Amino acid sequence: MSPDVQRATERWFRRRGLPMFIEDYSVTEDILTRMFPFMGLVVFAELFLSFGDRWSGWSQTAAFVGGTALVLGAFMAVNLVRHRRPLTLPDTVGAAEVALYVGLPVVPSVIGRADDPVGAAITTVTVNVVVLAIAFFVTRWGLVPMSRWAVGQMISQITHLAPLALKSLPLVLLFSAFLFLNAEMWQVANDMTALAFVGVGALVLGIGGAFVLTSVRRISIDLACFENWGEVDRLCAGTPIHHVGQVQPDPAMRPEAPLSRQARWNVMLRLFVAQSTQILLVSLVTVVFYVVFGLLVVREDTMLQWTTAGELTRSGDWLLRFEILGNGYVFTRQLLVVASFIGLVSGLQFTVQVLTDTGYRREFADHMTTSTRRAMAVRARYLASLTP
Query: Where does the pLDDT of residue 246 fall: very low under 50, low under 70, confident under 90, or very high at 90 and above?
Result: very low
Give the range with max mean pLDDT: 224-233, 247-256, 278-287.
278-287
Kindly state the helix (H) or strand (E) to which residue 68 belongs, with its residue range.
Answer: helix 58-81
Q: Find the range with the poorest average confidence among 86-95, 232-241, 248-257.
A: 248-257
Describe the crossing of helices 194-217 and 261-297 by its angle, rounded to 10 degrees. Answer: 130
pLDDT of residue 75: 85
Query: Domain limits of the chain?
Result: 18-140, 144-221+269-365
pLDDT at 363: 63
Contacts of 9 (CB under 8 A, 6+ apart): 1, 239, 240, 241, 378, 382
Region of poorest pLDDT, from 147-161, 244-258, 294-308, 342-356: 244-258
Task: Say if residues 114 and 14 touch (Cβ distance below 8 Å).
Answer: no
Q: Model confidence at 161, in pLDDT bands (50, 70, 90)?
A: low
Q: Per-residue confidence at 12, pLDDT binned at 50, 70, 90?
A: very high
Is 52 within 8 Å of 112 (Cβ atoms)? Answer: no
Q: What does the pLDDT average to over 315-339?
A: 83
- Measured in degrees and rounded to the nearest 5, phi and psi for residue 336 equal -65, -40
Interval 88-124: pLDDT, tens:
888 888 888 888 888 888 877 777 666 777 887 888 8
pLDDT in tens, 17-36: 899 999 888 888 889 999 98
The SS3 call for residue 318 is strand
User: Could you give the percent of the chain with pLDDT greater than 90?
Assistant: 10
Distance CA 169, CA 175 (A): 10
Using CA atoms, how far apart are residues 302 and 309, in angstroms rounded to an integer? 11
pLDDT of amino acid 132: 93
> How does pLDDT run across 170-182, given as a tens digit for each residue?
766 777 888 888 8
Q: What's the DSSP call for residue 182?
A: -
Q: Give the largest Cα separation in the chain, rounded.
A: 81
131 pLDDT band, cuts 50/70/90, is very high
Residue 129, pLDDT > 90, answer yes
CA atoms within 13 A of residue 290's CA, in its CB half-sphere: 29
Please report how the helices 117-140 and 143-156 are oriented relative to each other, as an axis angle in degrees rounded to 10. Answer: 50
**Integer Cα distance of 142 and 270 in angstroms:** 9
Residue 338 has pLDDT above 80, yes or no: yes
Distance separating alpha carbons of residues 266 and 235, to the nearest angstrom: 20
